[in-house]
A and B are shown apart, each in its own frame.
With several copies, the nearest count.
Chain A
Amino acid sequence: MALDVARLKNDFPIFARTVRDGKPLIYLDSGATSQKPRLVLDAERNFYEQHNAAAHRGAHQLAEEATEAYEDARSKVAKFIGAADNEIIFTKSATESINLVAYALSNSNFTDAKRFHIGPEHEILVSEMEHHANLIPWQELAKRTGAKLRWIPLTDEGRLDLSNIDSLITSSTKMVALTHQSNVLGTINPIAGIAKLVHDRGALFLVDACQSVPHQSVDVKALDVDFLVFSGHKMLGPTGVGVLYGRAELLDEMPPFLTGGSMIEEVHMESATYARAPQRFEAGVPNMAQAVGLAAAIEYLERVGMDQVQEHEELLVNHAIDGLLGISKVRIIGPFGGIHRSGAVSFTIDDIHPHDLGQVLDDLGIAVRVGHHCAWPLMRRFGISGTTRATFYLYNSISDVDALIAGVEATKKFFKVA
């Protein structure tokens, strides 16, 4: 059963505006960032207008209220992914979350947190479909520590090629960092299965859930991962807030990343000792209003129901794939054909560059993303310089998809491509 999109759309003020000379906005770029429901904007505003003060830093009433609002947001996020409160760290973005873990690993070499020590004898494993955010921090970690970066190749269909996984995850592997859902291909990776392999070899497992947590129900304990990251802005929440989930016993041992106020235990001029997680990883006055906004976004998503969201997107994406495949010269990049996949579809058209296609679609009021989608190595793997990508969310309707299909046809006509 499809969602009542017309009703949902009313909750998102931006759809009241038009683009390109009065055309209704057809927003198919939620994979880059999502739109925000009124509820989220109201929650942020309410924080500023009623409870704004520095959390964890004051004994006055506002500070108490701000602390409560912030910590309640943490609980809300924790419950949403099946974690405990002290396993949730607020960051500014998934990008920061991944960097936090990567830097904590190299920082551990200056502490006695042996579990995290990493050096030239170690390997870090990623995949060829990673977003730059889950690739470059590991390249840099390798540079800092001498560890070796390896990667899981892809099949032509756009899945992880796990045929040699036993030789890729070895006893030298320190960290495996994989995306849960590709932001380009729509592939959903078999995380729980891989987790078993990773842990059998004694490695750590970080999952980039930027494209899964917003679109399906995710349970960190069921996935059995050590770290999981996502961004608020891709799941109806504000910009400027991300999450790092970390298994409690790991966070308890892991050295800090950003240092400063509120993450300390005792401070002397020469040295300092650090608070326990999550405080240890949240230096400075936190992004309180954004955390509160994210909690409101989760409330909204829960009201709609994550299973409903997922089902709805599957409906849309399959409709899109059917329509696109009916157009000659269209090539879908990623797996398709009656399979479990996410609501992202990437494609190319012979003789029309994605940027030009995107431009014509934009002129029709249809917002898609074009280019390498921060997954440049993935583009090389498929021998292309970029794709056009449509990503769906709960506020998209079947008629949005139809507009996309019609838009692609119109573009071909515009550029006189048969």
Chain B
Amino acid sequence: MDLQALYQEIILDHYKRPSHRGLHEPFDIEVHHVNPTCGDEITLRLSLDGERITNLSWEGMGCSISQASTSVMTTLVDAKTVDEFSITSDSFLALMHGKGTVVPDEEILEDGVAFSGVAKYPARIKCALLGWMALKDALVQLIDSKSTDAKIISIVPDRSRDER
């Protein structure tokens, strides 16, 4: 049944006991992303220590898919380099847009493979990508603004549609 495939235990576990949830200090950037179709929101904080993502924390309001996916993401990329994030993120995106035909790379995605079922529900792909897009956006802004030292608090649109 597709529904069981969608809501795997791992997802429900992350939803109930999310990782890295609860906003922390210090941070270099905070971004706030929303899913305009359903109103789900995520606030994400992090720092960049050279090439390395640190101090990852978040808060959010949303469905099991968006919240669990963000939780899984944080476990995957915390203390990883930007390049490592890119590889993981690309792999996750490919899985989401694969219409159910992409075989996920367990080595890279670990718990993230649990989201394979989402690919069959186009309306939910945005949910699964909410946290990923927020982090991606935060990194772009952070790298763009390396010259200035001020903290960046920004509200930016959800870009996930562009990935369609």
Contacts and interface: CB of A to CB of B under 8 A. Distances in A.
A379 B63 contact: no
Interface in B111-164: 121-124, 127, 155, 157-159, 161-162, 164
Contacts of B127: 355
Most chain A CB within 10 A, of B34, B62, B63, is at B63
Interface stretch (A55-63, A152-160, A161-169, A188-196): A55-63
Given A64-B122, A353-B62, A276 B38 contact: no
B3 interface: yes
A376 B40 CA distance: 11
Contacts of B123: 58-59, 63-64, 67
B64 interface: yes
Interface in B11-54: 12, 34, 36-41
A322 interface: no
A386 B124 contact: no
A359 B161 contact: no
Nearest to A264: B36
Given A59-B121, A265-B36, 15 more contacts: A67-B123, A71-B164, A264-B36, A265-B158, A266-B36, A273-B155, A273-B157, A276-B159, A354-B38, A355-B65, A355-B127, A356-B64, A371-B37, A385-B39, A386-B39
B36 A59 contact: no
A68 B122 CA distance: 9
Interface range, B side: 20 to 34
A363 B157 contact: no
A63 B124 CA distance: 12
A359 B124 contact: yes
Contacts of A228: none
A37 to B, nearest CB: 27
Interface of B: 1-3, 6-7, 12, 34, 36-41, 61-66, 121-124, 127, 155, 157-159, 161-162, 164
Interface of A: 20, 56-59, 63-64, 67-68, 71, 86, 262, 264-266, 273, 275-276, 279, 353-356, 359-360, 363, 370-372, 376, 379, 385-386, 414-415
A275 B34 CA distance: 11
A360 B155 CA distance: 32
Given A265-B36, A275-B36, A415-B12, A385 B41 contact: yes
A265 B158 CA distance: 8
9 contacts: A59-B123, A67-B123, A276-B161, A355-B40, A356-B65, A359-B121, A359-B124, A385-B38, A385-B41
